[in-house]
Amino acid sequence: MSFDNLGLNKFLLDILEKENFKEPYPIQEKAIPEIIRGKDVLGIAQTGSGKTASYVLPIISSTAIIKGPKTRKIDVLVLVPTRELAQQVKEVFTVFEKGSLSPIKTIAVYGGVSINPQMKSLYGVSILIATPGRLLDLADSNAVHFNNVRTLVLDEADKLLNLGFKDEMNRIFSLLPAKRQNLLFSATLNEKVVEINQVLLKNPSVVNTTTKEDNLDKITQLSYSISKEKKGPFLRYLIKNGNLKQVLVFTASTYQADNVANKLRKNGIVARAIHGKNSQQSRKNALQDFKDGRLRVLVATDLLARGIDIEDLPYVINYELPRSPKDYIHRIGRTGRAESKGDAITLVSPEDEHHFKIIQKKMKISVERLDGNDKVK
């Protein structure tokens, strides 16, 4: 199927062709017509499968016919869990908003930066992308009005709930008009997502494009037995000996992320750490440098895993194990995106053995194991 058959306006179709979007991904093919019909939608699809465009395109297509005086009343609200995801969603809107029949103003608001410029920029906004805390700050300042909201999107709904935003979201829901379209997108369908689906969505169209294996078949998984004290030298050995470019490394703490990045730099490998203790601008710059190839290694924590959206990322290395199989999937799911293949490498110390066995058992997989101890001193 082509985008021509999904009900999008001609201006958007021209942009899709210009941007070389040839065929819709499954989530787009199934969700876009339902959203254009005005249905509530519950969309479940792995990260990197085109979820964002599956709601951005129909929203722009329908927002294009809306005109009115500039006010602080927004038409569309997109809630996201992190600043990085807010910025990335804004970038997708920016690519396609030229396909509107009339000008559309889209902005992203999030914490970690001054609120005053955001308050000023909200005048005349049609589409607002926001993290819950900053949105409520703006609402309390009377900088944004919700009585015209016709579409609410929860992107990465499972992450929003897992990060403890439930109370903030319930308060936001109470401020919105009862009559609106609700779109909920998530990488997983867990109990919390099911619960909010039952409360928020009305007779939704359910679009689930995940496979039983969560599309891990495109990712080559490998693990190495390595003592805890040799993990650093072995990581450097892997990167240098394998001539690995654009490597995303995951640690379990901000301290370890900084430590790993520092030691990589001291050994001639261009690397930076990205985590919640960095300034927003520092995180944004690091992500951009990594995407553009100026940064060979990016070291991150789980909190930011979903905010890192990089096409054709070839390598993910688990320097330390995640807490759960779900987090393991989210980590290695940064590679093997869409149609690309990728490699996921996990470093397993004797202290990690039991936990890694649990992860494999719950995922019903067996990850090949090699010994890395003899590779480094």
**Burial of 119: CB neighbours in 10 Å, binned 0-12, 13-18, 19+:** middle
Query: Which of 158, 175, 208 is at the close of a domain?
Result: 208
Please indicate, yes or no, whether residues 190 and 247 belong to a single structural domain of this protein.
no
Inform me whether the pLDDT recorded for 214 exceeds 60: no
What is residue 212's predicted lDDT score, i.e. its pLDDT?
42
Mean pLDDT calculated for residue range 275-291: 82
pLDDT above 70 covers a percentage of the chain that reads 90
Please indicate, yes or no, whether residues 225 and 367 belong to a single structural domain of this protein.
yes
What is residue 54's predicted lDDT score, i.e. its pLDDT?
94
Inform me whether the pLDDT recorded for 197 exceeds 80: no
Please indicate, yes or no, whether residues 237 and 320 belong to a single structural domain of this protein.
yes
What is residue 156's predicted lDDT score, i.e. its pLDDT?
87
pLDDT tier for residue 369 given thresholds of 50, 70 and 90: very high
pLDDT tier for residue 284 given thresholds of 50, 70 and 90: confident
Quickly count: other Cβ atoms within 10 Å of residue 14's Cβ.
Answer: 12
What is residue 362's predicted lDDT score, i.e. its pLDDT?
82
CA distance 317 to 238: 10
DSSP 155-183: TTHHHHHHTT-HHHHHHHHHHS-SS-EEE
pLDDT digits (tens, 9 = 90+) for 319-364: 999 988 878 887 888 787 655 678 999 999 999 999 999 999 887 8
Please indicate, yes or no, whether residues 102 and 57 belong to a single structural domain of this protein.
yes
Name the residue range of residue 302's domain: 216-375
Q: What is the count of structural domains for the chain?
A: 2
Where residue 323 sits, what CATH number does that domain have? 3.40.50.300
For the chain, what is the mean pLDDT?
Answer: 87
Please indicate, yes or no, whether residues 220 and 199 belong to a single structural domain of this protein.
no
Query: Which of 170, 186, 208 is at the close of a domain?
Result: 208
Please indicate, yes or no, whether residues 263 and 320 belong to a single structural domain of this protein.
yes
pLDDT above 90 covers a percentage of the chain that reads 50
Please indicate, yes or no, whether residues 174 and 283 belong to a single structural domain of this protein.
no
What is residue 33's predicted lDDT score, i.e. its pLDDT?
95
Lowest mean pLDDT among 10-24, 189-203, 247-261: 189-203
Q: What angle do CA 362, 365, 366 make, to 5 degrees?
A: 120
Contact 309, 91 (CB under 8 A): no
**Burial of 319: CB neighbours in 10 Å, binned 0-12, 13-18, 19+:** buried
Please indicate, yes or no, whether residues 195 and 227 belong to a single structural domain of this protein.
no
| Predicted TM-score of the model (pTM) | 0.62
Amino acid 118 reads: Q
What is residue 70's predicted lDDT score, i.e. its pLDDT?
66
What is residue 213's predicted lDDT score, i.e. its pLDDT?
45
Compute the CA torsion angle 170, 172, 175, 179 (nearest 10 deg): -80
